[in-house]
Amino acid sequence: MKTRILSLIAGSLLASGAASAASLEVKVTNLTQGIYFTPILVSAHTSDAMLFNAGEKASEALQAMAEGGSLDGLNEILTGISANTVSNPAGGLLAPVASTMASLETSDGNDRLSIVAMMLPTNDGFIGLNSWKIPSEAGTYHVYLNAYDAGTEANNELVVDGSGAPGTLGIPASPGVDPGTQGSGVTSTESNEMIHIHRGNLGDDEATGGKSDLHNTVHRWLNPVAKVTVTVK
């Protein structure tokens, strides 16, 4: 009798472990008109891990992603906690209206999904899905993502060659449409240094001069900025 009870317990634990692992297809679609996403990070991790928290200060790793598109710091952290991660599924920038797919096999306990990528051209804007609980039931699920501001850099809206490193003010690139030039800068300060919903680019309609190097008919957006389709198999 004791042997049978132990066998039942062991069987229940194995079944529980199998249920917590999952095979996922994750599709990310850029919903904007003129904003590009830098290499995307898709990760499944445990419930006590988060890439960011709105209303809190950005980590150095998140800052590096939000200001320059670097995933190195976040990947190092995720590797250290045995997360299941796909980096850069699009093989570079994800253009407006384009989509990319990532296949993810999750380990036991990695039941939360997070996604981040910098938005170009912005100073420190990024798309963010934060610790979304992966459904246990097979099916297709849709999640819409807002744009966040990392709060680490003033949104001066000036495209500056060589910027993109943390602490170096400026937008590193404006893919798709050439930016304006010789803007004076929208602002030189950031009043909200916590991660918060991005106000959006302001832009202007002056090719030379004005406050912004961005175009008000191309580089503005409204939330949501991305759609995530998760297929649980």
| Type of residue at 189 | T
Q: Is 22-232 CATH 2.60.40.2130?
A: yes
- pLDDT means per 10 residues, the chain with 233 residues, are 32 40 96 98 97 98 98 98 98 98 96 98 98 96 98 98 94 96 96 97 96 97 98 96
pLDDT of residue 135: 96
Tokens of 111: 């039941």
Domain ranges of the chain: 22-232
Tokens of 203: 């832009």
Compute φ and ψ for 55, nearest 5 degrees. 90, 0
Q: Which among 195, 229, 173, 185 has a CA at the least distance from the CA of 35?
A: 173
pLDDT of residue 161: 92
Q: Which of the 8 DSSP states describes residue 218? A: T
**Euclidean distance between CA atoms 8 and 112, whole angstroms:** 28
The predicted model scores a pTM of 0.90
pLDDT of residue 130: 97
CA distances from 92 to 70, 75, 100, 138 (A): 12, 16, 10, 30
